[in-house]
Structure 1
Amino acid sequence: MINPKHILTYGDAFVDYIALDTKNDSFNRHLGGATVNVAAGVSRLGLPSKFITITGDDDTSAFVRGELEKEGVDLSYSIIVPEKRVSGVYVHFTPEYDRIFANYENETPDLQVAAHDLKGEAFKNASIFHMCTGTMFHPEALKTTVEAVRLAKEQGVLCSFDVNIRPLRWESEEQCRDTVFKFLANVDILKLTTDELIFLMETDSVKEGIKQLSKFNIPLVLLTDGENGTHALFEGEDFHVPVIPVQPVDTTGAGDAFVAGTLRYIHLNGMPKTRAEVIDCTLFANKLGALCTTKPGALTAMPKLGELEELS
C-alpha cells in the first residue's frame, strides 16, 4: 500500500550565482541548499514532499518559490516575510576553470522561520521529518528546529538528521559539536560522512568514532565514505555497503541524493528491522548518490526514479 503521508523538510534556500566564464562578471542563478536538494530529490523520486522555509517578496524569492514548485515541492507550510532576502553564493571560475566560492551574501540573517510559524498539521500528516545543521547556528532557527523535533516526536514522526557540517558558519567548533549532540537523542536516522564523524568525536580513527557514536543508541546511522561506500550502523553492528563505481563529473549534492534515497526507502517500507533491510536501504541510497555524481550541479543532478536503470 502506498504511504499517503508526506516527507517534511525544514531549512534554508540559497541561490548559487555561477559565473558564465572566467571573466566572472556575468552569472547564471541556480536554486541551492542541502535541504532544498533533499526536498526536491524526494519529489523527483515520486513522493509527496513538503518544505518549510522563509522567503521574501522580491524577484529572487519568487525565483526560489517558482523553482521549488516546478520540482513538485509543496510550500504550504513555508512563510513569506516581505523584507526577507534569500542568501546568495557567488561562484567564480579560475583561469583553469576550477570553481571557487568568491562571496556569500545574507542581507537578512535574523529573519528566520520562528517556532510559532510551525503548523502542527504539517507534522501530523508526515511520515518523516528531515533537517540538517544549515540553520542551527542561528539562535532563532535553533529554537525553531527544537520545536520542530518536539512536534515530530509528539506525532510519532520519524526524525532524520544530516549533520552536513559547515565549520565556518559556527562561532566555534565546540558550539557546533554541542548543538549536534543535543539533537542525537531524538534522531531515528542519522547521516554523516566519515570526516564529519572524526570532527564530531574529535578522533582520527573512524573505528573509534563509531564506538563513541554508538553511545547515543541511534536506530540507524549511515556513515558515507564517497567511492568507498557506506557504513550502516544498526543494532550494534557495522555493515559495510559498497557503491557501484561510476565516473564522477561533479560530487556536489551526492550526499543529498543519498538522503533522498534513504527517506524514500523508509517512507515506503518503514524503518529497517533486519540486516537485509538495512543493506537494501543503503544500497538504494548509494545508487542515488552515485548517479548524482555523473551530472554537473546539485539540484539539477538530483536523480529521478527511472534513471536508476542506468546503473547496473
Structure 2
Amino acid sequence: MMDITAIGEVLIDLTQTGVNEQKVPLFAANPGGAPANVAVAAARLGANTAFIGKVGQDGFGAYLTRVLEENRVNVSGLRTDEAATTMAVVAVSDTGERSFRFVRGADCNLKLEEVDTGLIAGSKVLHFGSVSLTAGDAREATLFAAQSAREKGVLVSYDPNYRDALWNSQEEAVEWMKKPLPLVDVLKLSDEELPLITGTNDPEEGTRLLEAQGIRLILVTLGDKGSFYRWQGRTGLVPGVATTVADTNGAGDTFLGAVLSRLVARGQKPLEGLTAPELEAILAFANRAASKTCSRSGAIPAMPTLAELEEGGNAHEA
C-alpha cells in the first residue's frame, strides 16, 4: 500500500547559482518538477510515495530516476521516452524570486495506457498539478488518472501551479486549470493562483466558492504570511515561519508534501474525523518545512528531512 502516488512532470531545474568572473550566469542541474517534488518532500517526512511520469533515455533521465530512488520514491510507474528529458531554466532574483523558461520533452508524452492504475488504486492519495495539463498525451493521461482515483475512492490532491510560459494565453490556462476541480478533494493554491481560479483575491470568498464546488479541503499559501485554510465551512490562518530566503523554488511543493505526509499518517481515510486544531497543527508543521526549503537553494536538494524538523522542535505537533 502506497500512501501517496504523484503523477506529472519530473525534470531538470537549471537553476542560476551566481555569475563567474566574466559575469556569465552559472547554473546547477537540480532535480525538480512539482509532482515529483511533492513525492520526495512527503517521502523525506516519512510517507511511502510513488511517482508516475516520463523521462528521456538520456543522462538527465537516469539521474532523475536515481534521485527518486535515493529518496525512497517508488519508480515502478516511471516510463522512458525517445524525447529528451524536460528542463526548466530557473533564474533567481536578488530576493530569491524565480522566473521560468521550459524546454519541454519526455514529460509531455506519458500516454493514458502507460498510467499504472493499480498503483493509484493501492494508494491513499493521488496528487497531480496543472503543468501536465498543458500539452501532449500527458493531458489525457493525467485527467484519466484523477478520474480513476476518484472512482476507486482514493483522495485526490491538486495543485494548479500556474506557469504562464507554458500556455498560449491566460484564458487557456484558466480553462484547463479549472477542468479537474470536480474530481478534487484537496486543493492547494498560491495567493497568485487564487484570483485566476476564483476571480477574487480574498481567501475567505475564494475558498468559499471552491468549497461550494465540492472541494473538501482548500489551502492557500501566502508566502511569509503563512497558510490559509477552509475546512468544513471553517477558515483560519496559520502564521508563517521567518527565514532568510535563498531560493523559493520547491517551497510550495514542500508545504503540500508535508501536509499530505501528516494526513496519510492518520489512516486509510486521511480526512476522516480531521478537526480544525489538528489541521492547524499540520499546517504549522508544513509552514516550518517550507521555510526550511526556502533557506536553501534548489528544489529537491533543499527539502528537509523529518530529523531536521525534529531538531527544531515541535515536529510531532500534528
Q: Does the 8 Å CA contact 1:54/1:84 hold for their aligned counterparts?
A: no
Q: Distance in 1 between matches of 2:126 and 2:25?
A: 40
Q: Kindly tell me: are residues 163 and 63 of structure 1, through their superposed partners in 2, closer, same or farther at Cα, counting changes over 3 Å? A: same
**Are 1:114 and 2:111 matched, yes or no?**
yes
Structure 1 residue aligned with 2:76:
76
Q: Distance in 2 between matches of 1:140 and 1:256?
A: 24
**Equivalences, count:** 306
Q: CA deviation at 1:153?
A: 1.6
Q: Distance in 2 between matches of 1:129 and 1:294?
A: 28
The runs of at least 4 aligned residues of structure 1 exceeding 4 Å deviation read 91-94, 96-103
- Written as runs of structure 1 = structure 2, the 5 A alignment for 1:146-185 is 146-185=143-182
Greater mean deviation of Cα atoms: 99-108 or 60-69: 99-108
Structure 2 residue aligned with 1:62:
62
Q: CA deviation at 1:97?
A: 11
Greater mean deviation of Cα atoms: 145-154 or 196-205: 196-205
Secondary structure of 1:233's match?
Answer: strand
Q: Does the 8 Å CA contact 2:55/2:86 hold for their aligned counterparts?
A: no
Structure 2 residue aligned with 1:47:
47
Which sections of structure 1, spanning at least 5 residues, go unmatched? Answer: none
Secondary structure of 2:193's match?
Answer: helix
**Are 1:307 and 2:308 matched, yes or no?**
yes
Q: CA deviation at 1:8?
A: 0.3
Secondary structure of 1:74's match?
Answer: strand
Q: Distance in 2 between matches of 1:241 and 1:26?
A: 37
Q: CA deviation at 1:199?
A: 2.1
CA RMSD of aligned residues (A): 2.4
TM-score by length of 1: 0.89
**Percent identity for Structure 1 against Structure 2:** 28
Q: CA deviation at 1:310?
A: 3.9
Structure 2 residue aligned with 1:279:
280
Q: Does the 8 Å CA contact 2:109/2:136 hold for their aligned counterparts?
A: no
Q: Kindly tell me: are residues 5 and 64 of structure 1, through their superposed partners in 2, closer, same or farther at Cα, counting changes over 3 Å? A: closer
Greater mean deviation of Cα atoms: 178-187 or 7-16: 178-187
Q: CA deviation at 1:78?
A: 1.3
- Show CA shifts across 1:202-250 (max 9, x none): 3344444234323213110111101111111011121111123233332
Secondary structure of 1:185's match?
Answer: helix
Q: Distance in 1 between matches of 2:236 and 2:91?
A: 40
Which sections of structure 2, spanning at least 5 residues, go unmatched? Answer: 314-318
Greater mean deviation of Cα atoms: 209-218 or 34-43: 209-218
Greater mean deviation of Cα atoms: 170-179 or 192-201: 170-179
Q: CA deviation at 1:70?
A: 1.8
